[in-house]
Amino acid sequence: MPSLVRAELAYIPSFLEALREGFSRDNLRPTTADEIAQIEREPAWFVRQVNHPPRQVVLPDGTLGERVPATELWYMDGATFLGSVGIRHELNAILESWGGHIGYAVRPSAQRQGHASAMLAQALDHVRANLPLKRVMLTVNLDNEGSIRVIEKNGGVLRDEVDNPWVAGVRGRRYWIDL
Ligand SMILES: CC(C)(COP(=O)(O)OP(=O)(O)OC[C@H]1O[C@@H](n2cnc3c(N)ncnc32)[C@H](O)[C@@H]1OP(=O)(O)O)[C@@H](O)C(=O)NCCC(=O)NCCS
């Protein structure tokens, strides 16, 4: 059974394959060819960045913001990379409006096999075991049927519907999951 683990150098070949088939750790932005080339050139630097993210984060509009403490975990089946989960330990005003505590993505070739559902369940176990949170917030665009299913299967309770502040004209939902 695949499991959520910290990124390691040994996983980079499979991670690169996932990027080349269109996977992105960032749901608001694709990974560019330049970024993929940089990871190939400097895999050890990249793994350090994943496990020790910089204090600042580039927001979807290109401006810089303060990053809240966060943990990124990779969903691995042996040495095969399947997807990733980002767990924010707390919300700031930006994440409260959109983004929430947990974001995830599954590589295109591994979608629709139940991985996101299982990965979110494991991420919730990780939060229960490691963070003092009583509930977590997740956000999803209204047209993302797969992710809505994943959240609701994991106990998501609809909080409200809002405009996605980063994508003009797109509506989304904010959900709470009680831990
Ligand atoms: C959304 C995403 C994470 C789903 O991953 P996945 O591993 O395919 O999800 P699962 O296999 O666990 O599917 C969960 C349910 O959603 C359904 N589903 C998955 N993708 C779907 C799609 N594109 N359209 C409709 N239903 C879909 C599955 O059939 C399944 O339904 P079931 O539980 O009733 O059988 C994946 O498509 C992805 O990474 N997309 C890009 C990034 C993204 O949108 N992340 C989430 C942001 S909120």
Mean pLDDT across the chain, nearest whole number?
A: 96
Q: Cα–Cα distance between 50 and 63 in angstroms, integer?
A: 20
- How far does residue 45's CA lie from ligand 1's centre (Å)? 31
Domain range for 110 is: 3-178
Identify the helix (H) or strand (E) that includes residue 85.
Answer: strand 80-88
**Helix spans in 42-172 (H):** 43-51, 93-97, 115-130, 145-153
CATH code, domain with 42: 3.40.630.30
Residue 93: is its pLDDT beyond 90?
yes
* pLDDT at residue 28, as a whole number: 83
Residue 162: is its pLDDT beyond 90?
yes
Which atom of ligand 1 is nearest to 117's Cα? 12
162 contacts: CB under 8 Å, gap ≥ 6:
97, 98, 139, 171, 172, 173, 174
- How far does residue 120's CA lie from ligand 1's centre (Å)? 11
* pLDDT at residue 174, as a whole number: 98
Q: Cα–Cα distance between 80 and 13 in angstroms, integer?
A: 9
More confident of the two residues 58 and 86: 86
- How far does residue 10's CA lie from ligand 1's centre (Å)? 27
Residue 60: is its pLDDT beyond 90?
no
Q: How many domains does the chain have?
A: 1
List all residues whose CB is within 6 A of at least one atom of ligand 1. Answer: 27, 103-106, 111-117, 140, 144-147, 149-150, 153
pTM of the model: 0.96
